[in-house]
Amino acid sequence: MMKAKLIIAGEERWLTNFHYEYFFPIETNPDLNGGRLPLSESFEPVVASGEATDNEWFFKPVQFRPVETFDSLIRPNDGIDGSIRHQMAGGLFNLSFASSEQDEFFLEWLMLGTMKEGKFEIYNGDDDHFMKIEFWDCYCVGFHEAMALGSSPMEISLRLSPAITRNRNVVEHEKNWKVTDIHGEWKAGAVGATGAVAEEVAAKLVSVELIDSNNQDIQAGVVQYVNLPTNSTYVNGQEIQDMGQLGQNIRCKVVFDKPGVHNFKLKLEPGSNNLAYSQAEITRNANFKYQDQELSLTTNSNGEIIVEGSRLFVSPAAGDIFSVSATDDNGTKRMSNGFVETERLLHYVEVKMNNLNSIASNLNPFVREFRSNGVILKDLPSVNMPHLKNIGNDADRNTFVQNVQTAIANSPAVNYSPHCVTIAYTDHLAVKGVIDAGAISRGGGDRTVNVKIEHERTYKEFALWHNLDGDDWFISCVFKPTDGSPDISIGKDKCTPRAKVDNAGFFNNVDVDVRGLPMIAGKIEMEVHVVERMRGGISLHNSNIVAIGTRFEWKDISPNLQNIIAIHEVGHQLGMASDGSGPDKIPTYYNNSQGHVGSHCHFGIPAGQARYDSMADRERSRCVMYGVAGRQRSFCRHCAEALKKADLKSGV
């Protein structure tokens, strides 16, 4: 059985399909009277401009302009019936192979429009190389990824257009837009009269340099945005000026002092202060590493090679520094002048509810805190959404999410998904509950009875559900006589809520008018809607949306606190506080069973407690990822390290 393998820039793929289309260079020439090739169904134009009849087609050898590749060529079909006297110009390779996690190289090749050289090795059964097809100055002009069918894996299909091909080291085809001179190779030695070969001085390694997507040397430091895909959308001319700055794969060029195929070893050199991933972290996520293996490689026949694709990759962490070194067979070692420093970048878009007067004017503290911990946050133009008085239950949440999605549908934010956080400002974020409250009464002997809105057993104070949505605070009120006579219902018109002295919106007691009751002892019992809990912010799971409350307990939240809430909630979006599913679990981690809802950090609070949600704990906390936002705006050292190590390749 025949098998074929593609080898290019250190990447190797076994092919599931391989088709070599040959072309003959011909073009229309109305002034040419002789030498016309007979047209028949044996020829078909690959590209034709305008419409033409058989009588309008005349042909001569093509003189390619430098920008042309295969656009002016036609392809002979099987069963050709005409005599062809024109020199073949090579053609196109169409090939397929099983998809893998390292296929980003091929998509980059297509998008960057660079030339590459490589070869196909064709095997006949178990025999060694049955045939070799080499190519130079090759563009990738087509990329297609097909979904898996049944048990078959996903498949990548490429269409390659080389300027030069060489089959079996003998048959060569060249197009005049070629760049490489494959016959300009050096000779290993001169043949003397006796036929002996006089060996020349061994080739020496000259340089190894990191290069950008245009193959230009990087002579200083450059930031590598390791979490972003290779997509021109992110090249903004500011932080990111070159496609080569995107992703974990980096490129370098190795040069020897003379042509020829030369051996060398290549190594990625990490900085001394780089973050170290534990073996447990690497086991959980294979991306938690850099290329730490020394590579044994050879140059191309011109004594140079560009190493790219997945051969050299840096870590996904922030603040790591890498350079490259190369060593030839003589022990000559060269270090790159340039280096890369890893960084992560995300965009964010603010969605502002209409009719809110206390939205933070800027998120500068929020941006600064993440930047200091290895995440650059770039703002996009804000958008607006309809006002909701409260987001408390699933129905509220669904409406809120739909409104957010509608608001950003025409925003630039959609171009950066999933590497974009949506920060939506809201009114209240209160959750409704029901409690029973009561007070002893002498019946009609009292004019009014004051009922405190508190839990009957724990005496925890609650606020009545007031001015938050369409639901009323009042459910029922009855007087239960102690003599066993029937209960007497009391209407809402007899019940007057009373607010705290220092908060006109926080109603925590009710005056009940009992003047119409009989003169007997008993108890007033009320069932009321209350605010079970009030939240300052929410990180919505399975989405990139965080809700930032601008009102809490019927008071405006300060801009400073809104920034703290944004840090906390976006921290959740990025996996904080780390529970051990990504970076290792932080030593100050606590979860729902020990206090607040979600993954949080008790840094600053003594370890070993059953719970971490008391008022004393709140005062002692020293991390922004504590379960109640307010006192701290910075990540503690444990959360800071976990955030810098987090793999943000999949976005938020």
DSSP string, 300-336: -TBSEEEE-TTSSB--SSSS-EEEEEEEETT--EEE-
Where is the domain boundary, 535, 570, 604?
535
Tens of pLDDT, residues 341-374: 999 999 999 999 999 999 999 999 999 999 999 9
Domain span including residue 508: 430-535
Task: For residues 551-560, give the mean pLDDT.
Answer: 96
Whether the predicted pLDDT of 33 surpasses 80 = no
Instruction: Decide if pLDDT at 94 tops 70.
Output: yes
Residue 457: predicted pLDDT: 79
CATH number at residue 261: 2.60.40.10
Distances, alpha carbon 361 to alpha carbons 352, 365, 459, in Å: 11, 11, 39
Burial 48-71 (b: 16+ CB within 10 A, else e): eeeeeeeeebbbbebebeeeebbe
Region of poorest pLDDT, from 15-24, 291-300, 539-548: 15-24
Task: Quote the distance between the C-alpha of residue 339 and its chain's center.
Answer: 23
Sign of the four-CA dihedral 581, 586, 591, 593: positive
- Distance between CA atoms of residues 612 and 618, nearest Å: 8
pLDDT value at residue 100: 85
| Whether the predicted pLDDT of 30 surpasses 80 | no
What tens digit of pLDDT does each residue of 264-277 get? 999 999 999 999 99
Q: What is the mean pLDDT of residues 104-114?
A: 84
Q: Is residue 64 part of a domain?
A: no
Same domain, 471 and 609: no
21-30, 372-381, 628-637: which is most confident? 372-381
Q: Say yes or no: 213 and 309 in one domain.
A: yes
60 pLDDT more than 80: no
Same domain? For 412 and 389 the reply is: yes
Same domain, yes or no, for 15 and 141? yes
Q: Give the 3-state secondary structure of residue 147.
A: coil
| Token representation of residue 555 | 């008071």
pLDDT at 36 over 90: no
For the domain that residue 608 is a member of, what is the CATH number?
3.40.390.10
Asked if residue 366 is part of any domain, the answer here is yes
482 and 492 together in one domain: yes
Same domain? For 312 and 358 the reply is: no
pLDDT tens-place string over residues 369-396: 999 999 999 999 999 999 999 999 999 9
553, two tokens: 């307990």
Distances 561 to 182, 359, 436, 639 between C-alpha atoms, Å: 66, 11, 33, 20
pLDDT exceeds 60 at position 325: yes
- The b/e string for 589-620 (b: 16+ C-beta within 10 A; e otherwise) is bbeeeebbebbbbbbbbeeeeeebbeeebeeb
Instruction: Indicate if 414 and 562 belong to the same structural domain.
Output: yes
pLDDT at residue 23, rounded to an integer: 67
Q: Of residues 122 and 171, which shows the higher confidence score? A: 122
Enclosing H/E stretch for 522: strand 522-534
**Do 520 and 622 fall into the same domain?**
no
d(CA 453, CA 446): 19
Looking at the structure, do residues 424 and 546 belong to the same domain, yes or no?
A: yes
Q: What is the pLDDT of residues 508-552, one digit of tens each?
A: 999 999 999 999 999 999 999 999 999 999 999 889 999 999 999
Average pLDDT, the chain: 86
Higher pLDDT, residue 141 or 475: 475
Report the CATH number that the domain containing residue 99 is assigned in CATH: 2.30.110.20
For residue 528, is it within any domain? yes
Highest mean pLDDT among 147-151, 416-420, 456-460, 468-472: 416-420
178 — pLDDT class (breaks 50, 70, 90): confident
Q: How many domains does the chain have?
A: 4
Cβ(131)–Cβ(3) below 8 Å: no
Reported confidence tier of residue 184, pLDDT bands at 50, 70, 90: low
Spatial neighbors of 409 by CB under 8 A, at least 6 apart, are none
Residue 594 counted as domain residue: yes
Strands, E assignment, 212-314: 221-225, 251-256, 263-270, 295-298, 304-307
Mean pLDDT, range 579-608, rounded to an integer: 95
The mean pLDDT value for 422-449 works out to 94
DSSP 249: B
> 308 vs 122, 161, 325, 350, CA distance in Å?
24, 19, 15, 38
Give the CATH number, domain containing residue 439: 2.60.40
Give the mean pLDDT of 86-113. Answer: 81
pLDDT above 70 coverage of the chain, percent: 86
449 falls within a domain: yes
Counting Cβ atoms within 10 Å, is residue 77 exposed (0-12), middle (13-18) or buried (19+)? exposed
pLDDT of residue 128: 63
Are 398 and 489 members of one domain?
A: no
Q: What mean pLDDT do residues 474-496 have? A: 96
3-state secondary structure of 379: strand
pLDDT band at 88 (very low <50, low <70, confident <90, very high): low
- Crossing angle of helices 364-371 and 559-573, rounded to 10°: 40
> What pTM does this model have?
0.75
Residue 68 lies in a domain: no
* Gap between the Cα atoms of 643 and 417, Å rounded: 20
Contact 26, 75 (CB under 8 A): no
Same domain, 421 and 569: yes
Torsion angle, alpha carbons of 392, 394, 396, 400, to 10: 110
Give yes or no: residues 127 and 170 share one domain.
yes
